[in-house]
């Protein structure tokens, strides 16, 4: 009887802690949003445009449905300090692609780039500022001279008037020649500069073992890891492609639905997945144009002798083209104590350990239960570790 109040107290304490953690997450989420909103309002108050004529959003929704807006806020917090390593820092080995970008106007250039509108506006402004006589003014003066010449009335007054009109017309014509309709200074061409285009195109290869040695529990953990990875890529990066590869004793590229939900079984030849990744990368994702990443999940079992083939494929072909390769091994909960030391493991783990010792862009972790997935994921993709 004395233990029941203690159990209830522990349960109550756990509930309080859960609600406290939720409150902290909400405060972090909406608190950060509030700070950004205050800064935005301060910026708008200091602009020349009246605040009444501006619009500001205190809390920009990430979805038009409230529940998903809240979910997206949580996801952004969870993924905030995670990133694909060297995606921006490397920008590929050599930048050979250039793009033509508008760079204002210039007074010399290709006739095909002539900006007629800007040229005519410059001409119009210059003619007004220099008071160039317009056509109507000149034509009116010519008509007046013509009428006087047709009249032929004798008299010094008409002659002096005609002479004055001719002098005025000559002055207007001289001014029109001095202020031409279009001057070389008016002409503007659209200017284009060649700029190197940073290449941040990236592809993530997801390789999953679905052979007979992977039980339903192991497959479920592997799928959860890849679902988290897929969600992370969708939330953090706008331009990234994902290639899904499943393998037993043979491998094939599949779509997202098949990758996560199809059921199949067979033997285990891990090198088949690496060969399939190499084939797809060579066909569609050349390393000089793409940032290539890979994540692999397996229970560590492999066909005898295939580990050496996997190491050779990684060291000779895949790792030179990859920015980062993450391997996750799915363990049985009973094995976690046996394989707690990273120096001991199944056949594939021991083979891959030789690669990890040589290469900094190869990392490997173990998962034994669902609670391990998120911590391991953060270790693999934490921003500070890169």
* Domain count of the fold of the chain: 3
Q: What is the pLDDT, as a whole number, of residue 104?
A: 83
Where is the domain boundary, 191, 224, 245? 191
Query: Are residues 173 and 299 both part of a single domain?
Result: no
Determine, yes or no, domain membership for 158: yes
Are 243 and 296 found together in one domain? yes
95, 199 Cβ separation under 8 angstroms: yes
Same domain, 292 and 313: yes
Q: Are residues 213 and 149 in the same domain?
A: no
pLDDT for 236 equals 66
CA dihedral 318, 321, 324, 330 (to 10 degrees): -20
**Domain shared by 184 and 297, yes or no:** no
| Residue 205 bridge partners (DSSP) | 243, 294
**Do 184 and 235 fall within a single domain?**
no
Q: Are residues 22 and 138 in the same domain?
A: no
Looking at the domain assignment, is residue 99 inside a domain? no
Which of 152, 167, 191 corresponds to the end of one domain?
A: 191
Q: Is residue 373 part of a domain?
A: yes
- In terms of residue numbers, what domain contains 149? 106-191
Does pTM surpass 0.85? no
Tell which residue, 310, 380, 322, 320, has the closest CA to residue 348: 310
Same-domain pairing of 118 and 139: yes
Same domain, 158 and 184: yes
User: Does some domain include residue 74?
Assistant: no
Domain contains 81 = no
CA 250, chain centre distance (Å): 34
183 and 46 in one domain? no
CATH code: domain of residue 372: 3.40.50.410
Same domain? For 203 and 187 the reply is no
56 in a structural domain: yes
* Last-in-domain residue among 191, 212, 243: 191
pLDDT truncated to tens, each residue of the chain (386 aa)?
444 444 344 345 555 655 655 555 445 444 444 444 555 555 555 666 554 555 544 444 444 555 555 555 555 555 555 556 554 434 444 334 456 678 888 887 777 788 888 888 888 888 888 888 877 888 888 888 888 777 766 566 777 888 888 888 888 888 888 788 788 888 888 887 766 655 567 888 999 999 988 888 888 898 988 888 887 777 666 678 889 999 999 999 999 889 888 887 788 999 999 999 999 999 999 888 888 889 999 999 999 999 999 999 999 999 999 988 999 999 887 766 666 666 677 789 999 999 999 998 899 999 888 888 888 888 887 755 54
Do 305 and 353 meet the contact criterion of CB atoms below 8 Å apart? no
Question: Are 297 and 379 contained in the same domain?
Answer: yes
Cα angle: 252, vertex 258, 262; to 5 degrees: 100
Task: Identify the pLDDT of residue 6.
Answer: 40
């Amino acid at each position: 009887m004395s233990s029941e109040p203690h159990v209830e107290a522990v349960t109550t304490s756990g509930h309080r802690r859960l609600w406290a953690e939720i409150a902290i997450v909400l405060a972090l989420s909406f608190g950060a949003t509030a700070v950004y909103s205050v800064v935005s309002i301060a910026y708008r108050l200091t602009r020349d445009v009246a605040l009444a004529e501006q619009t500001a959003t205190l809390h920009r929704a990430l979805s038009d449905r409230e529940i998903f807006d809240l979910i997206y806020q949580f996801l952004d917090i969870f993924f905030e300090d995670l990133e694909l390593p060297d995606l921006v820092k490397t920008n590929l080995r050599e930048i050979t692609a250039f793009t033509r970008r508008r760079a204002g106007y210039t007074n010399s250039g290709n006739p095909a780039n002539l900006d007629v509108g800007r040229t005519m506006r410059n001409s119009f402004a210059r003619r007004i500022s220099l008071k160039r006589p317009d056509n109507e003014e000149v034509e009116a003066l010519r008509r007046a001279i013509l009428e006087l010449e047709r009249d032929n009335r004798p008299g010094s007054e008409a002659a002096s008037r005609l002479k004055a009109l001719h002098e005025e017309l000559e002055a207007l014509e001289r001014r029109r020649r001095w202020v031409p309709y279009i001057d070389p200074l008016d002409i503007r061409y659209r200017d284009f500069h060649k700029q190197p285009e940073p290449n941040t195109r990236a592809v993530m290869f997801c390789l999953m073992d679905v052979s007979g040695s992977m039980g339903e529990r192991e497959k479920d953990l592997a799928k959860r890891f890849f679902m988290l990875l897929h969600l992370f890529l969708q939330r953090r990066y706008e331009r990234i492609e994902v290639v899904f590869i499943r393998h037993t004793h043979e491998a094939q590229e599949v779509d997202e639905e098949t990758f996560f939900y199809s059921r199949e079984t067979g033997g285990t030849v891990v090198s088949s997945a690496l060969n399939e990744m190499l084939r797809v990368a060579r066909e569609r994702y050349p390393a000089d144009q793409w940032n290539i990443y890979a994540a692999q999940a397996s229970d560590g079992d492999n066909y005898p002798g295939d580990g050496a083939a996997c190491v050779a494929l990684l060291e000779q072909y895949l790792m030179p083209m990859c920015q980062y390769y993450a391997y996750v091994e799915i363990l049985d909960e009973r094995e976690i104590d046996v394989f707690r030391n990273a120096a001991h493991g199944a056949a594939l783990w021991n083979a891959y350990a030789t690669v990890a010792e040589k290469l900094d862009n190869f990392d490997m972790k173990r998962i034994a239960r669902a609670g391990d997935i998120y911590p391991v994921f953060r270790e693999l993709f934490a921003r500070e570790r890169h």
